Structure 1
Amino acid sequence: MPEDADKVRATIIERYGRLARAAQAQLQIVDCEPQQFNDGGFGAAAYSDTGELPEGAVRASLGCGNPVAVADLQPGETVLDLGSGGGIDVLLSARRVGPAGKAYGLDATPDMLTLARANAAEAGATNVEFLHGHIEDIPLPDAGIDVIISNCVINLSADKPRVLAEAFRVLKPGGRLGISDVIADDGLDPAQRAEAEHLVGCSVGTLAEAEYRALLAAAGFTTYTITRTQPAADGLHSAIIRASKPTAPPGIIIRPMSADDAGQVLDIYQAGLDSGNASFETTAPSWQAFDRAKLPEHRHVAADSSTGQVVGWIAASAVSDRCVYAGVVEHSVYVHPDHGGRGIATALLKALVQSTETVGIWTIQSGIFPENAVSLRLHERAGFRTVGTRQRIGRHHDRWRDVVFIERRSTIAGAK
């Protein structure tokens, strides 16, 4: 956390505690300049389905959109609202997931929690629970949440990377993020940005769209979109941010590869090379060489969700520095020999396809020895096609080897 995080938190808690007490006194509360509040679609103006909610929950709404409307909540799911305030989004979520589901609200402001719990009691909602805590340190276990929502709260955090990393941690494989937030135009003049943030109440600062995308990728989300909804002030916009965590086989989490994984990644790499049919290489590279060659946003590991052991990895490299090939990468995928047949390689390939398509990469390619029938079938199932066979292209263990050249052309990225 940044050094001044505690001070920032205290300021935010005091500010929203004051607003919560005003709402409890049946006052209409506004968290930014009135004109921006109305023009930006803040508060209850963003909702169309509040008729059966307690008046206090509607009155205390301070968001910049309606994340529930885009979260695609399904009956029986578990949903978490980061920065739940007076509880409007939790109550709407509880209605959508039904009695078999559950809606959590997390807030750091005791007065807001008191208000939200009173609103839930008035609404008769029995499938809700409000938690006291910080969105940078979510007090829930790993991989237990289907959907995370948040309404104009992440811009208030002094450690936004930590917030998104925590969201990724508590989501189940395949879990979804659907949040409303305020974003800034890329390249906005700092003084203009600060003034606009002051007008809309974003006292800790907004993220530009490019910054948001980079942080979502770094956290491990492989698909993400940012859709602007309404202008909030000069250079700022209300936006809906959607993202998803990679799916994985039971007991496995797919997450970003880090330097801490180096030893396990290279051991798995070497085990694959020792099989004789993985690559022309015979010795795994150093971590420094591996790290230089692989694209940061497109290297993922499959890890055991109980022990953290890395059991497989996938990574991509650029095929050329020429701009015409900017959307073409070459990949490698390896699974620990003790963990074959569990669907791990399939899940890793899916994660790579998602992360590359999200940033506009249109072709993934590779070369496979024809003797490696398992890998050829795996890639065929993942949508790769055989381009052709390069005969006697190189010598491996003192004999000439053919290579089957395969590629997957995206139907999404580069389609137009």
Structure 2
Amino acid sequence: MTTVVPVLLPEHEAATYAGWFACLAEPMRVKLLHAVATSPRGLTVGALTEILGTSQSTCSHHVRKLAEVGFLHLRKEGTATVVTINQACCSGLPHAADAVMGLLAPRPCCPENLPDDVVVRALHDDDWDSVRRIAKWPAGHRWVAEIGGEVVGWAAAVPVSERECYRGVAETSVHVVESHRGRGVGKALMHKQVTEADAAGLWTLQTSIFTDDRASIALHQSAGYRTVGIRERIVQRDGAWQDAVLLERRGPVD
């Protein structure tokens, strides 16, 4: 039996996160941080004192502690001190929680135990009729899966934006003809898709999957995708609103 050794957080990250969580161990500071975060223009220490129902010296003490950790910014306007949220903490704090809970730990590259009878190759021009029988709009990084010379599935990745800063972000799709599902076709296509995306320098792959398609969600998770959130009432299917799971996969970033 193989023992899996967990990958520990780097010491500096653990110390940083511990400082954040320790600072928030005081309920008054949590309420104060929430009050400032929900006030886009900031609040004076005097206003915070009234909101929290405490003394100004106590409020100032908690403000100072939160500012020292980096949750708050302070600026002078005349004789008043205006407190604003450090926007970086809006993403930094959830990131810290995800890191501590292992959600950002190294993830698998791609599915294993690929079927021997499935061949995945680049899509050719004469494949279009076969691909269109499976689904409509493949584009981008395009791959087809064959069994015995018959096209039984395809995978594609398309850019999410023409802007240069999004050059490494793509929306992905994987489709398998219904008569060949459960034979590892999707697994083989997924393996090809993510390994080629990594080789091409794509740092984020994202996709949306209907919440009831557990098999597809599990397939993507096996390739290192993680759930970002739920897109409520995103499409209409068979006359009813459907929710979709938004997933993303982060590749190696240089």
Shorter-chain-normalised TM-score: which range?
Answer: 0.5 to 0.7
Match for 2:133 among 267, 280, 289? 267
Residue equivalent to 2:242: 401
Structure 1 residue 342: deviation in Å? 1.5
Residue type of the alignment partner of 1:260: D
Structure 1 residue 393: deviation in Å? 2.0
CA distance in 1, matches of 2:178, 2:130: 13
Match for 2:122 among 253, 256, 265? 256
Q: Relative to structure 1, is the Cα distance of residues 393 and 252 closer, same or farther in structure 2, using a 3 angstrom cutoff?
A: closer
TM-score normalised by L of structure 2: 0.53
Structure 1 residue 396: deviation in Å? 2.5
Q: For residue 161 of structure 2, give the secondary structure of its aligned residue in structure 1.
A: coil
Residue equivalent to 1:386: 227
Q: For residue 224 of structure 2, give the secondary structure of its aligned residue in structure 1.
A: coil
Structure 1 position 332 matched with structure 2 position 190: no
Judge conservation of contact 2:209–2:217 (CA < 8 Å) in 1.
yes
**Structure 1 vs Structure 2 CA RMSD:** 1.6
Q: Relative to structure 1, is the Cα distance of residues 248 and 257 closer, same or farther in structure 2, using a 3 angstrom cutoff?
A: farther
Structure 1 residue 248: deviation in Å? 5.0
TM-score normalised by L of structure 1: 0.33
Q: What per-residue deviation string (whole Å, max 9, x for no partner) do you get for residues 336-395 of structure 1?
A: 112111211111111011111111101110001101111111111111100000111232
CA distance in 1, matches of 2:114, 2:219: 16
Structure 1 position 354 matched with structure 2 position 220: no
Q: For residue 126 of structure 2, give the secondary structure of its aligned residue in structure 1.
A: helix
Judge conservation of contact 2:194–2:223 (CA < 8 Å) in 1.
no
Residue equivalent to 1:366: 207
CA distance in 1, matches of 2:160, 2:223: 21
CA distance in 2, matches of 1:322, 1:333: 25
Residue equivalent to 2:185: 344
Judge conservation of contact 1:389–1:402 (CA < 8 Å) in 2.
yes
Residue equivalent to 1:300: 143
Gaps of 5+ in 1: 1-246, 270-283
Select the structure with the greater relative contact order (CA < 8 A; seq sep ≥ 6): 2
- Percent of paired sites with the same residue: 41
Judge conservation of contact 1:248–1:254 (CA < 8 Å) in 2.
no
CA distance in 2, matches of 1:303, 1:393: 32
CA distance in 1, matches of 2:154, 2:114: 13
Q: For residue 360 of structure 1, give the secondary structure of its aligned residue in structure 2.
A: coil
CA distance in 1, matches of 2:143, 2:126: 13
